[in-house]
Amino acid sequence: MSISLHQEYDGKHVLLTGGTGFVGKVWLVMALMRLPNIARIYVLMRGKGRNVNDRWIKMVNENPAFRPLHELHGADLSRFIAERVEVVPGTLDSAQMSIEDSVADRLRENVDLIVNCAGLVDFNPDVRVAVSSNLDGSMHVADFAASCKKAAMIHVSTCYVAGTKDGFIPETIAETAPNGQPLDPEAEYVRLKEIIEETEAENESEETVRTLTEEVVARLEKRGYEPTEKRVSGTVGRLKAKRLREVMAQAGTDRAKELGWPNTYTYTKALAEMLTKVRYPNLRHTVLRPAIVESALSFPFPGWNEGFNTSGPLIYLAGTWFRHIPAKAGNPLDIIPVDLVVNGIFIAGAAVMRGEHEEVYQTGSSDRAFLPIDRLTELSALGHRQHLRKTGADRVEKLILSRWDALASDPEHVLNVSNIREVVFQVTRYLRHGRPEKIPREWKDEAESLAKSGDKAQRKLRQIEEVLDLFMPFTYDHYMVFEARALDKHPIDEPEFRFQPEDIDWRQYWLECHMPGLRRWCFPSQYENKETETYTPAVPFEMLEGESLAPIPNQAASEAAR
How far apart CA 34 and CA 266 sit, in angstroms, is 32
Which distant-in-sequence residues (6+ apart) come within 8 Å of 69 by Cβ?
29, 32, 33, 60, 77, 80, 81
Q: How confident is the model at residue 392 (pLDDT cuts 50, 70, 90)?
A: low
Rounded to an integer, the average pLDDT of 345-361 is: 98
Q: What is the mean pLDDT of residues 366-382?
A: 90
Q: What mean pLDDT is reported for the chain?
A: 86
Instruction: Return d(Cα 173, Cα 483) in angstroms, integer.
Output: 13
Instruction: Give per-residue pLDDT as tens, 435-455.
Output: 455 555 555 555 556 556 655
Q: How far apart are CA 531 and CA 511, in angstroms?
A: 24
Amino acid occupying residue 111: V
Can you tell me the mean pLDDT for 39-57? 87
- Identify each DSSP E strand in 214-320 by its residue range: 285-290, 292-294
Q: Is the pLDDT of residue 426 over 70?
A: no
The pLDDT assigned to 387 comes to 78
Contact 486, 270 (CB under 8 A): no
Q: pLDDT by residue (tens digit) across 504-534?
A: 999 999 999 999 999 999 888 877 778 888 8
What number of CA atoms fall less than 13 Å from residue 367's CA on the CB side?
22
Residue 545 pLDDT grade (very low, low, confident, very high; cuts 50, 70, 90): low
Which pLDDT band, with edges at 50, 70 and 90, does 52 fall under? very high
Of the candidate ranges 178-192, 211-225, 333-347, the one whose mean pLDDT is the lowest: 211-225
pLDDT of residue 391: 65
Burial of 538 (0-12, 13-18, 19+ CB in 10 A): exposed
Overall average pLDDT of the 329-346 stretch? 95
pLDDT tens for 144-165 read 999 999 999 999 999 999 999 9
Distance (Å, whole) CA 553 – CA 110: 9
Whether 70 shows a pLDDT value over 80: the answer reads yes
pTM over 0.95: no
